[in-house]
Structure formats: C-alpha cells, structure tokens
Amino acid sequence: MMQVRPNLDYEGPKSHQHHRAFVFGFEYGFLKEKLDQKEAAKRANEQLGFVFDIGPNPWSKPATSSFGCKPSLVKMEYVSPEGLRLDGRRPMEMRQIRAEIGTVARADGSAVFEMGNTKVIAAVYGPREVQNRSQQISDQALVRCEYSMANFSTGDRMRKPKGDRRSTEISLVIRQTMEACILTHLMPRSQIDIFVQVLQADGGTRSACINAATLALADAGIPMRDIVTSCSAGYLNSTPLLDLNYIEDSAGGPDVTVGILPKLDKVTLLQMDAKLPLDIFENVMGLATEGCKAVANYIREVLLENTKQLEYRRGL
Amino acid sequence: MVGLSVGEKHFIQGGIAQDLRSDGRKRLTYRPIYVETGVIPQAHGSARIRLGATDVIASVKAELGKPSALQPDKGKIAIYVDCSPTAAPMFEGRGGEELSTELSVALQRCLLGGKSGSGSGIDPSSLVIVEGKVCWDLYIDGLVISSDGNLLDALGAAIKAALSNTGIPKVNVASETSGDEQPEVNISDEEFLQFDTSGIPVIVTLTKVGRHYIVDATSEEESQISSAISISINRKGHICGLTKRGGAGLDPSIILDMISVAKHVSEQLINKLDSEIAAAEANEEES
C-alpha cells in the first residue's frame, strides 16, 4: 500500500521549539541572547550559510519553558563534514533498540519497544468476543487499534492526547499494517484490540509502534504470517540517513517510513513526506528496508530468548 | 475484567474474614512496591511505581506562567490523570474519561487542599518568582499503564516520588520592571532547586468487604467492595483529605475506626515509600 503525501505533522512542539531562521532574519530571545544573536547575524551576513551552533538537545535535559523564543538556528547542518550526525551516529547507523515482552500483566500480550529515546508500550487484548455486534465479521477476526500519546511524551506538554487527526491517522496505519499479517480467517467473529501508548516521542514513533505491536501480538500467541518490522529513513544534506530522530524529522526534509514482512520479503507500509527525486527515493527506501531487516533480527532474538525463559519456567 | 462466579466471591470474602487473602497477604499488608525515578528524561521530575500488577507513571513539568489575580503570591498546580487503553480495553477512546476524572479530582482533593490553595500538601507559595507577575505552573500528569486495583494509592505514591525527583530550574529575574510589564526572566540550565517533599501526604485506601477492611485491594477484591474510604495522611499523622466511594452507608463509628487504622498503616507506608524513593534515586544517579 503506497501512500506518498504531504506532511501531516501535528501543530505543537515543532513550531516553537525549532524555529529555522534564514540568513537575513532572526528572532530575538532573552536579553542575554540578544547580544549573541547580533554577533551571529553579523557573522552569518559575512559568510552565507555559516554553520551555527545548535541549542542543547531537547531530550537530554529537562524542557525549558517556552516563555521566550528559543535561540533560532541559521541553516542547520545535519551531517558534519566528518560524516557524523547531530547525535554522533553515522548516516547508516540506527539508534539503539531495546525491547521487553510481557510488561502489562493483565493484557493477553504486551511489549515495550525503545528506539533511542522513543519509548512505546503496546498491549494486545484478544481474540475475544466482539463488543459491538454490528461490527462483527462472520468469516474473519476484527482488528482494532488505538494510538495515544502521553501528556508528557513530547517536549512541550500536549493538551489532547487522543482523538486528534494525527493519532487517528496513525491508528489507521497501524491497524492496516497489522491486519495484513494476522491470519484473521482463523478467528472468525472475534475481535483483536491493539493499544499503543507512546511514553516518549523522539521521532520514529510510527515505526516503534509497529515493532512493539508485532512483539505484543507474538506474546499474545496470535497467529501471524510473519513479523512486521518498520523503520524510517530520510535525506538531509545530500545524505540518506537511517532512523531519524525528532530534530532531523522536523528539519523539513523527506521522511520515508517502510514496514516489511522480512521472511516473505514484502512491503506492507510505505509512507513519505516532502519530495524526492526518484533515484534517490530508491536509495532511501532501500536503506529503510535494511533498517527493518536489522530490527527483524533483533525482534527474533528477543522472541527466542522469551521462549527459552518460558521453557525454563515450565521446567522443560 | 472477567466476571467472578459465586464460589469465587465467597472465597474472597471468606478469606478476608479470616485474615488470609487470595495472594497470601494479611488484611493490612501492602503488595511489594517498586519505585523507579527519572523515567521521563524530558520532564522536570518523573517516577514509575509498580504495586503488584498495577503500573503507573507520574511526571512533573514546570512552565512559566502568570499567577491568578486572586492569589498573586502563589503558583499554580494542576493534576491530571489519564488511563491508557493498555490497562483495560474499556479505556479506549473516551471510555476511560470517567475514571480519569474521578482519579484526578480525588488526587486534587487529597494533595492540593481547598479552592483557595490553603492546606495544600505542596506549598504553592514556593512556586512564585515575581509576586503578581511570574510564577511556576506545575503540571503533574499521571498515566495508568496497567491496572490491578488500588489506583489511587499508586498514583499518590507516584506523585510523591516524582515530586521528590523534581528539579525546578533556578530563575534569575533579569531587570527591574514597573507597572504591568512582564519582567524578563532567565532560566538557568544548570542549577536546580529540589522540591521539599516531606510535607506531601500519602493516600491510603481502605476497602470494606463484608465486615472487615483491607488495604491495597486487587481488582478482584475491588469488585466485591461495599464501600471504600481513601484518606491522605502526611508524616505528622494529620489528615489532608478524605473521599468515600461506594454505595453502601457506613456507621460513623466505623469511619472513625477506619481512619485510625489508616493512620497506623500510613506510618509504615510512608517509611517504606521514602526508603524506596531514596534507593531509586541512588540507583538513578549511579546509572
């Protein structure tokens, strides 16, 4: 299912945390920064495209208030000349992944998935009786999904964690992706609920949610064709970058999210923002697919380890 | 939640009457509490508490704002609880709103005192920066990830742990301004003020099942309650807030008895919680 569409990002953190000022314009911040801004503007005027120092990484320190504007950035450099990104990674390097199965005891299956600073909990309830009789399907299971972000997940506190357009869209995307891989015909007239809760958002929440949902479904023992893994990639400063974090994502460059079934080698999710020439797009999509395969290897390891633990506990 | 059969109901009630609950605890014993602080790095303070299978996260964020005209020397504190659908399928969409509102209001009553801000467990006058003009707005957010009964106690403990983990950045007021001008403030990135949490109360919920009361009910036991009282008690043994839930009426003498039992239980709980929080913070500093 291929969807190439314009940026559907939420209003909120992006607008005032990362102002991008072009060379001849800048916003004034605190009294102290006014002097620094003038200096920087002078320098920038002398050399067009001068690389400006970015502010502290919003996720490494507590969020400061948005009482005044943040110091604005003049033409950001996302990949340094030595080939290092803002957080010190190489362009083809993913963030650190960590997964844990079985965190929510009451759910039929649950998992926590972390990609760098993005942390997501998924819980699966099902297969169970359909709650709303009118939605019952006589030959298949009904798959439902809800995506919600915690109030504290983004740098600026979100007022409305559910029901906004972006959450609805992501819920739909996750549902369609997982529905493609669950063997729904084995469980007619039943319902499978996938609930995903974002605890920390630092870019790539969509991918982390799909990976977490896969683990949770496996933990619930729901039959699937294959695991679904997902990863995102982008293209900034003429370099394809794997696994974008929040800063790179809000840079306005293209963001390609890919979801694949690794064993069957099929693509189930493909979304892109902004625009890319076709040959570069193939590169970036290939990179994202490689990322997905790396995630798939990790997920398989985690599932194997989990099964060994279960065997051990049963005394086998 | 799966329904309980008549046999199971009798089993639970009989066990409580004999001081032996389904998981082996006595009536006034809490489940083991696990505290983890600093789980949300972008908040000013955060904590995660696990009470058996109940799992809650609390985060504290401070933003600069203007104090209300009625109380120019006090900051503002807001507590908001959200029930994640991962805890129960019925919390999907707007299903969890009723419970979220009930928990938020109960927590506000227990921790924040009356409408004028008097009698609050958290001192709002410590949040003011420039009287009448600039103050800290404290937003305390609770998230219920997994629910197995006794949400109020867990949330109260999580908020206490999160507040002790909170570091409010130091603020320097840049210049003297007069009249209605907003003063410019400089928020330091380096120095932080730790919150004083010794005055913050803990919440103890006593559930009455049959003729006896239990502390820290699991969700199966909670389905059998006739009535419950949640009391917030601080270190000095003073009652900071009281909420009665459940339809059955209670004799006033029983209520007074429950309050004294809660006071007794709260001492152990406060000590246990403080030591767990200190251990969690020490762990966090090491890692």
Smallest Cβ–Cβ distance between A104 and the set B40, B80, B146 belongs to B146
Q: Is A15 on the interface with B (CB under 8 A)?
A: no
A68 and B184: CB-CB below 8 Å?
yes
Structural domain harbouring A104: 97-313
pLDDT at A44 over 50: no
A157 and B63: CB-CB below 8 Å?
yes
Q: What is the pLDDT of residue A251?
A: 87
pLDDT in tens, B197-253: 777 889 999 998 888 889 999 988 888 888 889 998 888 888 888 888 877 888 889
Do A45 and A163 lie in a common domain?
no
A199 and B57: CB-CB below 8 Å?
yes
Question: What predicted TM-score, i.e. pTM, was given to this entire model?
Answer: 0.81
Q: Which residues contact B259 (CB under 8 A, 6 or more apart)?
A: B229, B231, B239, B242
C-beta of residue B232 within 8 angstroms of C-beta of residue B111 = yes
Do A120 and A218 lie in a common domain?
yes
pLDDT in tens, B132-149: 778 888 899 999 999 998
Q: Which amino acid, residue A155?
A: G
Residue A115, in any domain of the structure: yes
Q: What is the pLDDT of residue B287?
A: 67
Do A139 and A246 lie in a common domain?
yes
Which positions of chain B have pLDDT values less than 50?
Answer: none
Q: How far apart (Å, rounded) are the C-alpha atoms in residues A222 and A187? A: 9
Residue A206, in any domain of the structure: yes
Closest by CA to B60, choosing from B172, B125, B142, is B142
Smallest Cβ–Cβ distance between B187 and the set A64, A105, A106 belongs to A64
Residue in the block written with tokens 């892109």: A272
pLDDT in tens, A177-199: 999 999 999 999 999 999 999 99
Nearest CA in chain A to B186: A30
Residue A140, in any domain of the structure: yes
Q: What is the pLDDT of residue A261?
A: 95
pLDDT at A56 over 50: no
B141 and A151: CB-CB below 8 Å?
yes
pLDDT at A60 over 50: no
Q: How far apart (Å, rounded) are the C-alpha atoms in residues B61 and A156? A: 9
The C-alpha angle B5, B6, B9, rounded to 5 degrees, equals 90
Closest by CA to B45, choosing from B64, B58, B63, is B58
Do A120 and A36 lie in a common domain?
no
CB atoms within 10 A of CB B108: 18
Separation in Å, CA of A116 to nearest CA in chain B: 12
| The CA-based dihedral angle spanning residues B126, B170, B57, B96, taken in that order and rounded to the nearest 10 degrees | 60
Judging contacts by C-beta atoms under 8 Å, the chain B residues touching residue A162 are 93
Do A34 and A159 lie in a common domain?
no
Residue A221, in any domain of the structure: yes
* Interface subset of A 113-142, CB within 8 angstroms of B: 117, 121-123, 125, 131
Q: Is A151 on the interface with B (CB under 8 A)?
A: yes
Judging contacts by C-beta atoms under 8 Å, the chain A residues touching residue B53 are 105-106
Smallest Cβ–Cβ distance between A59 and the set B42, B141, B167 belongs to B42
B41 and A117: CB-CB below 8 Å?
yes
Do A158 and A243 lie in a common domain?
yes
Q: Is A161 on the interface with B (CB under 8 A)?
A: yes
Judging contacts by C-beta atoms under 8 Å, the chain B residues touching residue A56 are 189
Q: Which of A121, A152, A164 to mutate to test the interface with B (most CBs of B within 10 A)?
A: A152
Do A59 and A181 lie in a common domain?
no
Q: Is A105 on the interface with B (CB under 8 A)?
A: yes
Confidence of residue A126 (pLDDT cuts 50, 70, 90): confident
How many residue contacts between A and B have a Cβ separation below 8 Å?
127
Separation in Å, CA of A15 to nearest CA in chain B: 17
Residue A70, in any domain of the structure: no
CATH number of B6-286: 3.30.230.70
Closest by CA to B265, choosing from B257, B277, B275, is B257
Do A122 and A225 lie in a common domain?
yes
Residue A5, in any domain of the structure: no
Do A149 and A203 lie in a common domain?
yes
CATH number for position A293: 3.30.230.70
pLDDT in tens, A227-275: 999 999 999 888 899 999 898 888 888 999 999 999 999 999 999 988 8
Nearest CA in chain B to A109: B86
Smallest Cβ–Cβ distance between B86 and the set A30, A62, A121 belongs to A121
Q: Which residues of A175-199 are buried (b: 16+ CB within 10 A; e: fewer)?
A: bebbbbbbebeebeebbbbbbbbbb
Average pLDDT along chain B: 85
Do A251 and A159 lie in a common domain?
yes
B42 and A148: CB-CB below 8 Å?
no
| Interface residues on B facing A, Cβ-Cβ cutoff 8 A | 39-44, 46, 53, 55, 57, 59, 61-64, 80, 82, 84-89, 92-94, 139, 141, 143, 145-148, 167, 169, 174-175, 184-187, 189
**How many domains would you assign to chain A?**
2
Confidence of residue A205 (pLDDT cuts 50, 70, 90): very high
Residue A12, in any domain of the structure: no
Do A161 and A274 lie in a common domain?
yes
What average pLDDT score do residues A211-218 get? 96
Separation in Å, CA of A301 to nearest CA in chain B: 25
Query: What percentage of chain B reaches a pLDDT higher than 70?
Result: 90
Residue A209, in any domain of the structure: yes
Judging contacts by C-beta atoms under 8 Å, the chain A residues touching residue B43 are 62-63, 152
pLDDT in tens, A135-182: 999 999 999 999 999 888 887 776 665 678 889 999 999 999 999 999
Q: How far apart (Å, rounded) are the C-alpha atoms in residues A214 and B7? A: 38
A195 and B84: CB-CB below 8 Å?
yes
B85 and A62: CB-CB below 8 Å?
no
pLDDT at A23 over 50: no
Nearest CA in chain B to A202: B42
Task: Kindly provide the ipTM of the predicted complex, given to two decimals.
Answer: 0.87
Do A101 and A240 lie in a common domain?
yes
Residue predicted with more confidence, A27 or A191 = A191
Q: What is the pLDDT of residue B153?
A: 93
Q: H or E element: which one contains B245?
A: strand B239-245
A63 and B92: CB-CB below 8 Å?
no
Cα–Cα distances in angstroms (integers) from residue A208 to residues A115, A204, A253, B65, in the given order:
7, 6, 20, 34
Judging contacts by C-beta atoms under 8 Å, the chain A residues touching residue B41 are 59-60, 62, 117, 200
